[in-house]
A and B are shown apart, each in its own frame.
Chain A
């Protein structure tokens, strides 16, 4: 949505913030993104990918790359029953693939918008979460991101999720433990 002049500085800031949030990230060339993402998921032991139906996914040829790695691919909407969508049935190592509308460099936050092709629950119902982020979608502050998301004259999305790192809980002895209800791992593929 926006390209700030110091995009490189903002990108470095994002990578540092993501690390602080216990998310992993890699920066790849757009031409390489499909293959690299599929490779990462295969290494993580992913058996099934639940993928947002988004232009970016098509552009990088992700589906073919995933199939070549032997990963089962379901496009959103998946048509799964609620038990299987929640991971109670079917393979355990499911990875939700999202395409954030924006990312906030200062906080390491991904902005996910629900739409026809992008489910509200893709990332939390799955055990792993991979986000495909075009580098020009990174803004510095949360204020900027929300101003763009809820700009005057734009119909606000029915649901927007700000995701900052894998799911965690500090409810037992105040110590942060990963993977409470949402994804246990978060990996961001930044496409330059």
Chain B
């Protein structure tokens, strides 16, 4: 991980991402293995999801989920204050960080003050967003991702390609090769069970050595000051129970009012995310170990991150704050399914990533210019979203907001074109000229090369030489 460079402005896009969005997309499209892996993943998600709709009424649960999250966002300041007070009552420490840099400073400072050398992490998009791994690495502290998929990526020196299934773009052989390299031996099995068992032992060594466990937070429950960490592997439980200190990193929007709301969201989340009616482990943590308890961390720190979220309240993008990071919109998106998450070059990919990355990064970043256009606006994402975020509308708004010189230029061209086509006389003259040009350039009934701005079209498709085309 030491190969990464820190970006001065602290934006959320990955710094070691190479090339432009277009180049990354083209590379991804050429990668046949990647396509195969993504197809398998999306198909298995689709199957699970159908089951949830059929047997567990997922569609009916959406409306309530939407209402809960909308009301959470409306009452956010009060809920956060309540959460904060209750965590403190339970013996925990709460830190509000305005941005990623501030959060990283706090956590690295804590690690240094307590003499911690190894930090064990469970999967968390918020820590990806604030680039905690780089910060700890720079401070000379070893960070180990303990979620199997995240650990695989850490070994490959790559970034997650999916919110829930980070290593979904790699296959078994690729994983086995990485494990052999890490262990420095060929004595690593090839089958899935063997690979999982191998990782279990290697990572237990890290749990035994870690002084701090860092987890994310799926939900904070304000009424009791409890954090919910949802997972399937059991590593988040080890992270939150084994090391002496537990640090939980939470995006400020992830809070619900009470247990009635939490119960609903905790059921919707795994249904939408993995097509299961329950996650294997949900860890509900209210402060550190109490007197008389033999295990659990002595210290509990909750780091609540703003990172540009607070400013979205009351704007046309407010609804994006309702997101519970289930990843359903990614799997449902034909763009994401074609190129995977890494082409996006930001921690959050897919439709929700295309909406929030520009918002969290500010209007002048490359992500703001390009990412809102990573969508066909087919609307599959909005349909898949379990909390009813109208992603396609937000994407359109994000496009309107993207104000690069390139789009401004094409704005002028479109206005001129619209003026020409609005008058019958100029329209007819345009069409007559167009027909002549097509016929002059046509070979065997097809035009394969157009001049000027038309070149972009004929680069990938031909155009009939007669208009309207004849059969």
Taking Cβ atoms with an 8 Å cutoff, the residues of A that contact B are: 21, 76-78, 82-83, 86-88, 106-109, 114-116, 119-121, 124-125, 141-143, 146-147, 149-150, 156-175, 177-183
Residue B341 CB within 8 A of the other chain: no
Secondary structure type dominating chain A contacts: loop
Partner of A168, one of B152, B280, B295: B280
Which chain A residue shows the least CB distance to B239? A181
Residue B285 CB within 8 A of the other chain: yes
Interface residues on B, range: 35 or more
A143 and B260 within 8 A (CB):
yes
A76 and B294 within 8 A (CB):
yes
15 A–B contacts, CB within 8 A, in A order: A86-B242, A88-B208, A106-B277, A120-B295, A150-B223, A150-B259, A158-B288, A159-B241, A159-B285, A160-B283, A161-B284, A162-B281, A164-B280, A179-B197, A181-B235
Bound-state Cα–Cα, A178 to B278, Å: 15
Bound-state Cα–Cα, A108 to B254, Å: 26
Bound-state Cα–Cα, A171 to B203, Å: 15
Given contacts A77-B295, A156-B224, A181-B237, 8 further A-B contacts (CB under 8 A): A115-B292, A119-B296, A143-B259, A150-B224, A165-B280, A172-B175, A172-B192, A180-B234
Bound-state Cα–Cα, A177 to B296, Å: 27
Residue B290 CB within 8 A of the other chain: yes
Bound-state Cα–Cα, A116 to B293, Å: 4
Bound-state Cα–Cα, A147 to B152, Å: 38
Residue B458 CB within 8 A of the other chain: no
CB proximity of A102 to chain B, nearest CB, Å: 13
Residue B374 CB within 8 A of the other chain: no
Bound-state Cα–Cα, A115 to B235, Å: 21
B40 and A173 within 8 A (CB):
yes
Q: Which residues of the partner chain B approach A169 to less than 8 Å between Cβ atoms?
A: 148-149, 196, 232-233
Partner of B283, one of A76, A159, A168: A159
Taken residue by residue from 235 to 263, chain B's Cβ proximity to chain A (1 for < 8 Å, 0 otherwise) reads as 10110111000000000000000011011
Which chain B residue shows the least CB distance to A148? B259
Bound-state Cα–Cα, A114 to B224, Å: 16
Bound-state Cα–Cα, A159 to B239, Å: 13
CB proximity of B209 to chain A, nearest CB, Å: 9
Residue B147 CB within 8 A of the other chain: yes
Which chain A residue shows the least CB distance to B226? A156
Stretch from B166-174, B380-388, B444-452 forming part of the interface with A: B166-174
CB proximity of B386 to chain A, nearest CB, Å: 16
Bound-state Cα–Cα, A59 to B237, Å: 29
Q: Which residues of the partner chain B approach A87 to less than 8 Å between Cβ atoms?
A: 204
B37 and A161 within 8 A (CB):
no
A167 and B232 within 8 A (CB):
yes
Residue B323 CB within 8 A of the other chain: no
Within 8 A of A (CB), among B125-156: 146-149, 152
Taking Cβ atoms with an 8 Å cutoff, the residues of B that contact A are: 37, 40-41, 44-45, 90, 146-149, 152, 165-168, 171-172, 175, 192-193, 195-197, 199-201, 203-205, 207-208, 221, 223-224, 226, 232-235, 237-238, 240-242, 259-260, 262-264, 266-267, 274, 277-290, 292-296
A160 and B284 within 8 A (CB):
yes
Q: Which residues of the partner chain B approach A150 to less than 8 Å between Cβ atoms?
A: 221, 223-224, 226, 259
Partner of A120, one of B241, B280, B287: B241
Bound-state Cα–Cα, A116 to B278, Å: 28
B278 and A146 within 8 A (CB):
no
A158 and B234 within 8 A (CB):
no
Partner of B200, one of A109, A157, A171, A179: A179
Q: Which residues of the partner chain B approach A107 to less than 8 Å between Cβ atoms?
A: 267, 277-278
Partner of A180, one of B90, B196, B241, B286: B196
Q: Given the known A-B contacts A150-B259, A181-B203, are A108 and B278 also in contact in the complex, defined by CB atoms under 8 Å?
A: yes
B208 and A177 within 8 A (CB):
no
Q: Which residues of the partner chain A approach B283 to less than 8 Å between Cβ atoms?
A: 159-162
Q: Which residues of the partner chain B approach A163 to less than 8 Å between Cβ atoms?
A: 280-281
A158 and B289 within 8 A (CB):
yes
Bound-state Cα–Cα, A174 to B223, Å: 36
Bound-state Cα–Cα, A133 to B3, Å: 51
Bound-state Cα–Cα, A9 to B152, Å: 44
Q: Given the known A-B contacts A86-B204, A150-B224, A159-B241, are A171 and B167 also in contact in the complex, defined by CB atoms under 8 Å?
A: yes
Q: Given the known A-B contacts A116-B293, A121-B242, are A166 and B192 also in contact in the complex, defined by CB atoms under 8 Å?
A: no
Bound-state Cα–Cα, A141 to B195, Å: 36
A182 and B264 within 8 A (CB):
no
Partner of A181, one of B146, B149, B224, B263: B146
A120 and B296 within 8 A (CB):
yes
A171 and B260 within 8 A (CB):
no
CB proximity of B19 to chain A, nearest CB, Å: 27
A171 and B40 within 8 A (CB):
no
Bound-state Cα–Cα, A181 to B120, Å: 13
Q: Which residues of the partner chain A approach B242 to less than 8 Å between Cβ atoms?
A: 82, 86, 121
CB proximity of B94 to chain A, nearest CB, Å: 16
B280 and A182 within 8 A (CB):
yes
B280 and A167 within 8 A (CB):
yes
B267 and A121 within 8 A (CB):
no
Q: Which residues of the partner chain B approach A166 to less than 8 Å between Cβ atoms?
A: 280
Bound-state Cα–Cα, A175 to B281, Å: 18
Q: Which residues of the partner chain A approach B45 to less than 8 Å between Cβ atoms?
A: 174
Bound-state Cα–Cα, A157 to B289, Å: 10
Q: Which residues of the partner chain A approach B278 to less than 8 Å between Cβ atoms?
A: 21, 107-109, 142, 162, 164-165
Q: Which residues of the partner chain A approach B192 to less than 8 Å between Cβ atoms?
A: 172-173, 175, 177
